[in-house]
Structure 1
Amino acid sequence: MEFNSAPSVVTVPEYWGHTKVKMIRFNYKWTIDDFSFWCKEECKILRSPTFFPDDNEELKWSFLNLEVLETSISIYLELLSGGTSSGVNAECTMSILNEAKGKKKTKILGVHQYIKGSDRGFKNFINKDYLLNVANGFLPKDKLTIFCEMCVKAEVIDISSQPQTQQFKLSAFKLNEDLGKLFDSEKYSDVTIVVGDRSFPVHKAILAGKLKKHRILSTIGYYEQARIDSRSDVFAAMFEHETIESKLNRVTINDIDPEVVIEMLRFIYTGEAPNLDRMADDLLAAADKYALDNLKVMCAKALCAKLSVETAAEILILADLHSIDQLKAQTIRFILTNATDVMETQGWQNMIKMHPHLIAEAFRGLVTKHNKQLDHQKDVHEMI
């Protein structure tokens, strides 16, 4: 028997749980030059350089294996390392790009479990004659470009409540918002940043230190409290010693544009840089000068997202100039993969003139890559 009753009010649960599945999504593009030459040998096997997502370098897990058969081309994805003993669950979409970077041939490799050394893929990804036919547009300038879109299940995160304990987040501690308002209002400032004919009233305590939130357990539950940690060692040293800036309460900046200084100051106050994408290169120089390590990391990620044939040389110069080793290594890998196109750019020509040591580093990487390919080809022939 059913009873109709007024809807009841759901009370705040005494216990609760939340399960989150963390997914890592990333793309990889593999370009093979002179592809028609490789197709002349049946059973020819090519392997791409190792690739992995930015936020999980331990998951160096994938190689694209391309095999030339009698009538078709096979493509496989192989797990090299990382993951758990039970394997890694991943979904992959493979495409061939045309000259306009559009996806011309796409196949979806559904969710599969990969164990170290195992591979999944397509034995007959595309007919070889169809691929080599110039009219079909798969090989612009005789280059085959394979685009791989990956979705990997990284981990399962379980979150549960403390028994009989309420969680409180007090609005009084909206630090980013409050400090942003303080920066905009210019109230209670005690030092002035001067850039050309513009002046920015700011606060020594904010430039030299940052408010950091940490959680406190009290009788009413959890709440957040703030403490001051070091923000910029450069500003801290400037104000803690008998410097001209400390005596005059005035800091003059002659080598950075005013708009970049505003963005840097906003980051110091709020931890955010709204215009990062369009001024990452100039902001990186400012972050390096004033020892803002978190801002340097944000700039490096923004520059990495802009990596292209046209920008590669300029980004490599910036990474070297500001000692960002990870960005430098990733840019060199990109240049090695797209060497022919990159070397035709004006940026590359400028780098030859102004930064020849970077050319030497890039070519050392090219020689190392070539030697590894020769060793692999030798191993394959010995196996056959």
Structure 2
Amino acid sequence: MDNGILKMKHDADSWSSSEVRSIVHKHMWSIRGFSQLECRYLETSAKIKDIAALPTNQPSSSGGLPELPDVTFRIRLHPQGNKESNKDFTFFQCFTTQANNSAPSTFKAKFKFSVFNQRSEETPTTVYSGTQQLHGYFEYIRREVLMSHVQPTDELHLCLNITVTFDTVTKTSQNIRSVPPELPMPIEVTKDLENLFRSGKHADFTLVVEGRELKAHKAILSARSPVFAAMMEPHTSESQNSRVVMDDMDYDVVQSLLYYIYTGTCPNMGANALDILAAADRYSLPGLKNLAEVAMRSGLAVDTVCKHLAHADLFNMTDFKKEAIKFICMNANAVISSEGFINLTKKHPCLIADIMSTLVNERHNSPSYFTRDGSLEPSSKRARMTETNL
């Protein structure tokens, strides 16, 4: 449960919680030699057992959920309808019987029949919605369509999905405030570590960048980065001297790197996103790498996209690479005249080939179901679920 909800629950003098208990059951029925059926109907059953034993998040005030009886659903197949007027149709029927009539329970059930042949191909059925009063839930299909569907093996596979929802259970309780619980406060840990980094108190390691020093703690560096952990092994010169010189990195980038190590955040990403990305990859900090990618995505522009694409390719950022190429294709006229594209052509010809391939494929495979603004037309499908009150 969220810490905020826990706190509100603790602050309340009393509280209630309600739980809707439900279960989903799937029953599969296979019928071989379907075309030879000449009976009025064929019947089987599906029993949902041990309803009271289902796991719950909130027990009742008595210490457990009220017992619920087993529920048995009877399933019938009417191969030639249920009377002369509909003999050209096959009907599928489901209705319920309770095993323990002395302890009735109110519940609702939803049903859905699916008809498959031996090749696992489904054929659509229709929910009965006529005015004639029938017992239970019905779906039907024209018999000649069904006969054709199950050939040549003459084997029908009927799948019934049952969703049963039982009475809602509500629990009411009073809070006892004599010993209030201590709630976890992760933000306090982050703030304390930030203060430790800014103050440099008890620091036992120094990072030298552009002639300037940054203080840090070996234990925290090792815990957060496997690269720093290897650096802190006793046999290394960095560990023995408690000092490392980083002469190939910018001071602001290393400072952002350390700030992330201590706090898990990087508020000063800014224009340093590409350099921070490289530093995150170098010191195996995937969280910081993700933050840099977010900043790069939001900063995609005609004059930056080519440079971002090169970095995405270098650091195996597959999704972002596709997004950058798509941006270039959508803004091709402006991008190809930019200085970034000229540099990309000289230094990364393989990426130019990827861009051209994407352009060709998009023009060749442009689907007719796209709207003018490039979005997909949503497809609609009528649900064939009907709720039956039992």
Q: TM-score, normalised by structure 2?
A: 0.48
Higher relative contact order (CA 8 A, sep 6+): 2
Say which one has the larger Rg.
Answer: 2
